[in-house]
Amino acid sequence: MNKISTDGIIFDMDGTIWDNTPVFAASWERACKDMGYDVKFSTDKLKGLFGKTMTDIADACIPDEDPEKRYATLKLCEEYEMEDLEKTDIDTTYPGLVETLEKLSKRTKLYIVSNCQAGYIETFIRRSGLGYLFTDFICYGDNGLGKADNIKGLVEKNNIKSPVYLGDIQSDKDACKQAGVDFIWAAYGYGKSIDSYVAKIDDIKELDQVIA
């Protein structure tokens, strides 16, 4: 196997670094109930939604013609999931994440780009204590930009010459194509298939063997 040389690995969040769907299914159901909707969320349903922007998720799963109420409901889902994530004692990171990031950080810089809400990456950093391993991060909630634009912006800001992105779903790969960045498929995550990638890993720990 030809290893990938890079001066910057950019990570997706949900389905790549951690899986919060066992915590968030109840959060989303509670938020929808408080807004007057009887909507059920399983972990599999959330896995099919995560990776999209929050407005796209609202349009896909909230049964209301009023966009303002749809988006207000998703806002409450965000608030409840953050509250529940702060309270849970469950370690939602994928096994082997810490050791893998520590090894990789000795060879290259690490970054995060996600379509999540503002504060979500900071919550991960606070819960995991891994902030010292990441050079920079940005998300949709910080500036309203999609993943492709945020990947481009982060690459330019940090002067990354040979970036590579680790994500788990087709929209991650599509964003990388738009941004001109190589894509590694985290096949252990939420995506069932990806049309192209420079490498595929079935466990986060395998990333150490893929990167030169």
Other beta carbons less than 10 A from residue 131's beta carbon: 12
Pull the structure tokens for residue 81. 């999931």
Mean pLDDT value across the chain:
94
Whether 212 has a pLDDT exceeding 70, the answer reads yes
Inter-residue contact 183 to 161 (CB < 8 Å): no
Q: Give the model confidence (pLDDT) of 12-53 as tens digits.
A: 999 999 999 999 999 999 999 999 988 889 999 999 888 777
Residue 51 Ramachandran class (φ > 0 left, ψ -120 to 50 alpha, else beta): left
Domain 8-19+92-210 top-level CATH class: alpha beta
DSSP character for 7?
Answer: S
3-state secondary structure of 3: coil
Say which residues have a Cβ less than 8 Å from residue 159's Cβ, sequence separation at least 6. none
Q: Is the pLDDT of residue 105 over 90?
A: yes
Domain ranges of the chain: 8-19+92-210, 21-87
* Residue 60 binned pLDDT confidence (cut-offs 50, 70, 90): confident
Rounded-to-integer distance, Cα 185 and Cα 197, Å: 6
DSSP 183: E
What pLDDT sits at residue 51?
72
* 131-151: pLDDT as tens digits: 999 999 999 999 999 999 999
The whole-angstrom separation of Cα 202 and Cα 212 is: 18
Q: What is the largest CA-CA distance in the chain?
A: 54
Cβ atoms of 42 and 23 within 8 Å: the answer is no
Residues 6+ apart with CB under 8 A from 50: 14, 15, 21, 57, 190
147-188 pLDDT per residue, tens: 999 999 999 999 999 999 999 999 999 999 999 999 999 999
pLDDT-derived band at 1, boundaries 50, 70, 90: low
